């Protein structure tokens, strides 16, 4: 059967997908397995935990109708097969008692120990908290589990074993729930298992998830594999025998095992690369297990001598391990009859790490710590920083998803240290991977000693050097191209803090300006009155009030009135309302009333307010222009040039306008549009651009319109410091021979 990638793109099927139920293991089977690697006294403690769990779940049944205790017993069995420690097995037996029974965490700590109680609590969902949506509940439970995992990695190992048994018994679920759980498994738990190097669990979760989510596609591929397998046996055996004979000639005794490709792996290659089944399945895969790392390289040379290697298909994961600690040599060879042969060469220890991942590094078994962390443990630690910078649980979940990349790129620091980054990473991702402070202050970078833009995508083997500046800070544009979760979360965190500080500062100036109309200021407002206003508005702090004012969510004059009202209790309501109307009348911008407002001081715009002050694109105000401010909810103050046509739409909303003026010493650069009419001559665009650049201005955008065969109009968006800077640029451009006219566009 030759299956095409298009056949696997059909709709989901809602028909029954009952899995073959795995055999139920008795507690005696678990104890017999545990006796092979832990002490008899510890086995007795596990048996006591089993009795406790059975009594706690007494009367509870699974959807299949079997007693609930079968599930925790199966989870404990999975961990025992990984040779996990006693507390892990006990926690597996008890992992649902907090969530599904009246048993409390304190009771577990008293009955067993604090460590077991923490493990069980880490796996338990937040059942007592009400969430607005399923997505929020899932994200918050995921955050709780991941943070517990940071404290103790065994939490996620128990959770993965729990999810594996649930997937094995998923067939009794309704189709909708089956698909939801399968999709969650493939999107979250499979990548986590990969990141922790737990290949055996990852592969089984992939197969079970694929089978439950796409039952028809699974059956089509399964039938195709069974049919194609018969044609492969002879070639597989011939290649395996040839490799074994050559190993024997070289004096190397090592098993050569043919590897069967998994259905989900075949499906993903067909789907992503748009190839047919035969193109994927016609690859013959072998694994060679040797005794020492140096033997791996000897065997590599031997197989390259036996069959010609395919250029560019060799990967040395021994010298440069994957992010999850995986080590092996990978090569692709031209085999007999032109068939490609994939060969993996690794030691027995490397094979163990590849199969069980972080569990192979387990330090709780012996009570000894080697002092060094595996790559998977380092990733777990990085989750803490991700959690600190995330605004909420949903953002944290998205950041973790982003970080679960299956592909990596390996680059070098100037000192020759290897850095592992996600595929598609840029120099900004590299800077944050080195250190958060370096990422926050980077301004440029070098790749192999040559300057390159920060958004340049990094490639394997490059040497990257970051150039930083003390006063530099993250640019919001970076969020458009960074790919690592650490970079994204740190940039967002910095911008949130920056925006908050800028908003508070601007809000204070706006409120002080409004209070000046009542001959007072924020510092003289009584603390008691401020607390009353905050309580009435349900705000937590003065800073929160000031931030809302700057973002346009609160009108400063109304807030000033609330504050002053409490300080003038003797004034009756009618008098207060009249006074406020009179003040509001004076607050209306003078340009709208046709009279001067020399007695009131406009709000000064410094150019450093950041995101809480925006400059209208319709008129592009720059320092030196007469300006007006419009308070827009969520955007803060929007600045327009006074004669901007768009301001006429707001003449009937005087409470939204605020008088503003430029600070005497404005800092920063501002975009402005200019139009240059030129004669059609070769090189005129380059000449104009060079003159603009010579005046220390950056060209942000350019559009060219050909008016007729002889003339063109160039529309530039350039950055300037003020009107004087713009006038100098216009003067210099006007002196160019082929320039006919230059004007500022509004």
Give residue-wise pLDDT tens across range 683-715: 888 888 888 888 888 887 888 887 777 888 889
Q: What is the pLDDT of residue 49?
A: 92
Q: Using the predicted structure, report yes or no on whether residue 103 has a pLDDT greater than 60.
A: yes
Q: Which two tokens stand for residue 388?
A: 């600190």
Looking at CATH, the fold of the domain delimited by 375-489 is given as: Ubiquitin-like (UB roll) (3.10.20)
Q: Cα separation of 552 and 638, whole Å?
A: 10
Q: What's the CATH fold of domain 8-217?
A: Hypothetical protein af1432 (1.10.3210)
pLDDT at 378 over 90: no
Handedness of CA 268, 309, 298, 463 (dihedral sign): negative
Q: Is the pTM of this model over 0.75?
A: no
**Once rounded to an integer, what is the mean pLDDT over residues 417-433?**
85
Among candidates 129, 127, 106, 128, which has minimal Cα distance to 118? Answer: 106
Distance from CA of residue 158 to its chain's centroid? Answer: 24
Mean pLDDT, rounded, of the chain: 77
Task: Please tell me the distance from the alpha carbon of residue 680 to that of residue 707, in angstroms, as a whole number.
Answer: 10
Confidence bin at 23 (pLDDT 50/70/90): very low
530 vs 232, higher pLDDT: 530
Map residue 637 onto helix, strand or coil: strand
Average pLDDT for 332-354: 85
State yes or no: pLDDT of 157 exceeds 80: yes
Q: What is the pLDDT of residues 272-287, one digit of tens each?
A: 888 888 777 667 789 9
Q: Retrieve residue 713's tokens.
A: 């109009």
In the structure, what pLDDT confidence band is assigned to residue 676 with cuts at 50, 70 and 90? very high
For the cut 80, the answer to whether the pLDDT of residue 418 exceeds it is: no
Q: How does residue 357 score in pLDDT terms, banded at 50, 70 and 90?
A: low
Which helix (H) or strand (E) segment holds residue 212: the answer is: helix 199-213
Write down the pLDDT at residue 601: 67
pLDDT band at 20 (very low <50, low <70, confident <90, very high): very low
Q: How much is the pLDDT for 164?
A: 93
What does the pLDDT average to over 286-300?
A: 91
Instruction: Identify whether the C-beta of residue 457 lies closer than 8 Å to the C-beta of residue 464.
Output: no
**CATH number assigned to the domain with residue range 218-358, chosen from the 4 options 3.40.50.2300, 3.30.1360.170, 1.10.10.10, 3.30.460.10:** 3.30.460.10
Neighbours of 39 (CB within 10 A): 11
- Helix (H/G/I), strand (E/B), else coil: 746: coil
Active site residues: 99-100
Interacting residues of 512 by C-beta distance below 8 A, sequence separation 6+: 521, 522
Rounded-to-integer distance, Cα 231 and Cα 235, Å:
8
CATH of 670-744, one of 3.90.1580.10, 3.30.70.260, 3.50.50.60, 1.10.10.10: 3.30.70.260
Give mean pLDDT, residues 605-623.
78
Secondary structure of 549-568 in the HEC alphabet?
HHCCCCCHHHHHHHHHHCCC
pLDDT reported for residue 593: 40
The answer for residues whose C-beta is within 8 angstroms of residue 27's C-beta and 6 or more apart is: 47, 50, 73
Q: Of all residues in the chain, what percent carry a pLDDT higher than 90?
A: 13
Place of tokens 């400063």: 556
pLDDT of residue 686: 85
Helices 215-249, 263-273: axis angle to 10 degrees equals 110
HSE value, Cβ hemisphere, 13 Å, CA-based, for 211: 19
At CA 497, angle to CA 494 and CA 498, rounded to 5?
Answer: 80
Long-range contacts of 48-51 (CB under 8 A, 24+ apart): 49/89, 49/90, 49/93, 49/94, 49/112, 49/116, 50/93
What CA–CA distance (Å, rounded) separates 734 from 688?
A: 9
| DSSP tag of 236 | H
State the DSSP string of 658-680: E-EEE-TT--S-EEEEEEEEEE-
CA 656 to CA 674: how far, in whole Å?
Answer: 30
Tens-digit pLDDT profile for residues 578-610: 444 444 444 444 434 443 344 456 777 877 666
- Summarize the confidence of residues 634-644 as an average pLDDT: 79
The domain limits of the chain are 8-217, 218-358, 375-489, 494-662, 670-744
Nearest alpha carbon to residue 149 among 125, 122, 127: 122
Considering only CA atoms, which of 153, 169, 174 is closest in space to residue 73?
Answer: 169
- Say whether 35 sits in a helix, a strand or coil: coil
Fold agreement between 218-358 and 670-744: no
Kindly give the pairing relationship between strand 340-347 and strand 657-658: unpaired
- Least confident stretch, 90-94, 239-243, 401-405, 730-734: 401-405
Task: Report how far residue 47's alpha carbon sits from residue 652's, in angstroms, rounded to the nearest whole number.
Answer: 79
What is the average per-residue pLDDT within 354-381? 53
Which pLDDT band holds residue 184 (cuts at 50, 70, 90)?
A: confident
**What local confidence, expressed as pLDDT, does residue 50 receive?**
92
pLDDT tens for residues 44-74? 999 999 999 999 888 888 888 888 999 999 9
List, for residues 555-565, the tens digit of each pLDDT value.
777 777 777 76
Q: Is the pLDDT of residue 207 over 90?
A: yes
List, for residues 481-496, the tens digit of each pLDDT value: 888 878 888 887 776 6
User: What residues does 614 pair with on adjacent strands?
Assistant: 638
Answer whether residue 93 shows pLDDT above 90: yes
- Which residue blocks in 257-414 are alpha helix, DSSP H? 263-273, 277-281, 293-306, 348-356, 375-389, 393-403
């Amino acid at each position: 059967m030759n299956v095409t990638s298009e056949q696997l793109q059909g709709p989901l099927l809602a028909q029954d997908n009952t899995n073959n139920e795995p055999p139920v293991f008795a507690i005696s089977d678990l104890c017999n397995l545990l006796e092979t690697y832990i002490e008899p006294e510890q086995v007795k403690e596990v048996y006591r935990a089993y009795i406790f769990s059975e009594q706690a779940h007494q009367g509870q049944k699974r959807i299949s109708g079997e007693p609930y205790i079968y599930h925790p017993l199966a989870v404990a069995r999975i961990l025992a097969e990984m040779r996990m420690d006693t507390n892990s097995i006990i926690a597996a037996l008890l992992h649902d008692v907090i969530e599904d029974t009246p048993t409390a965490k304190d009771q577990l700590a008293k009955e067993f120990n604090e460590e077991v109680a923490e493990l069980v609590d880490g796996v338990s969902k937040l059942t007592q908290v009400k969430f607005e949506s399923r997505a929020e509940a899932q994200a918050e439970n995921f955050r709780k589990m991941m943070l517990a995992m940071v404290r103790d990695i065994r939490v996620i190992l128990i959770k993965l074993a729990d999810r594996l048994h649930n997937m094995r018994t998923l067939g009794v679920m309704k189709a909708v729930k089956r698909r939801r759980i399968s999709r969650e498994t493939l999107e979250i738990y499979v990548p986590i298992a990969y990141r922790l190097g737990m290949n055996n669990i990852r592969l089984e979760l992939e197969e079970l998830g694929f089978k439950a989510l796409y039952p028809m596609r699974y059956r089509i591929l399964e039938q195709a594999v069974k049919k194609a397998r018969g044609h492969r046996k002879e070639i597989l055996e011939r290649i395996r025998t040839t490799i074994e004979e050559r190993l024997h000639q070289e004096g190397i005794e090592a098993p050569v095992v043919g590897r069967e490709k998994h259905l989900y792996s075949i499906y993903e290659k067909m789907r992503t690369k748009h190839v047919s089944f035969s193109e994927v399945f016609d690859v013959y895969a072998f694994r060679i297990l040797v005794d020492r790392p140096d033997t791996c390289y000897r065997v590599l040379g031997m197989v390259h001598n036996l069959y010609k290697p395919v250029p560019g298909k060799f990967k040395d994961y021994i010298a440069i391990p994957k992010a999850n600690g995986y080590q092996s040599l990978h090569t692709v060879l031209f085999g007999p009859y032109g068939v490609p042969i994939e060969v993996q060469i690794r030691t027995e220890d490397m094979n163990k790490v590849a199969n069980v991942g972080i569990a192979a590094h387990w330090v709780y078994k012996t009570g000894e710590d080697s002092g060094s962390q595996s790559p998977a443990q380092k990733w777990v630690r990085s989750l803490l920083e991700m959690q600190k910078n995330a605004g909420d649980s949903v953002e944290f979940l998205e950041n973790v998803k982003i970080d679960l990349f299956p592909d990596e790129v390996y680059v070098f620091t100037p000192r020759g240290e290897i850095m592992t980054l996600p595929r598609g990473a840029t120099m900004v991702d590299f800077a944050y991977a080195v250190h958060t402070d370096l990422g926050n202050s980077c301004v440029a970078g070098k790749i192999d000693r040559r300057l390159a833009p920060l958004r340049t995508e990094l490639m394997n083997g490059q040497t990257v050097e970051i150039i930083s500046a003390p006063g530099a800070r993250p640019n919001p544009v970076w969020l458009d191209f960074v790919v690592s979760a650490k970079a994204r979360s740190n940039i967002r965190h910095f911008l949130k803090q920056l925006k908050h500080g800028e908003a508070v500062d601007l809000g204070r100036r706006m409120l002080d300006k409004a209070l000046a109309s009542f001959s007072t200021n924020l510092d003289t407002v009584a603390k008691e009155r401020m607390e009353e206003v905050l309580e009435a508005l349900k705000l937590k702090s003065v800073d929160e009030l000031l931030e809302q004012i700057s973002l346009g969510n609160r009108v400063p004059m109304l807030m000033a009135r609330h504050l002053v009202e409490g300080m003038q209790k003797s004034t009756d309501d009618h008098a207060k309302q009249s006074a406020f109307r009179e003040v509001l009348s004076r607050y209306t911008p003078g340009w709208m009333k046709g009279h001067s407002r020399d007695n009131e001081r406009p709000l000064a715009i410094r150019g450093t307010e950041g995101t809480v002050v925006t400059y209208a694109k319709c008129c592009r105000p720059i320092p030196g222009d007469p300006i007006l401010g419009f308070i827009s909810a969520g955007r803060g103050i929007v600045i327009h040039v006074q004669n901007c046509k768009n301001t006429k739409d707001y003449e009937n909303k005087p409470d939204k306008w605020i008088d503003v003026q430029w600070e005497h010493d404005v800092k920063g650069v501002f975009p402005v549009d200019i139009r240059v009419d030129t004669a059609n001559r070769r090189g005129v665009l380059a000449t104009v651009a060079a003159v603009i650049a010579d005046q220390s201005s950056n060209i942000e955008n350019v559009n060219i319109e050909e008016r007729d065969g002889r003339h063109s109009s160039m529309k530039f968006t350039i950055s300037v410091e003020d009107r004087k800077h713009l006038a100098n640029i216009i003067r210099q451009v006007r002196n160019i021979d082929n320039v006919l006219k230059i004007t500022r566009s509004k």
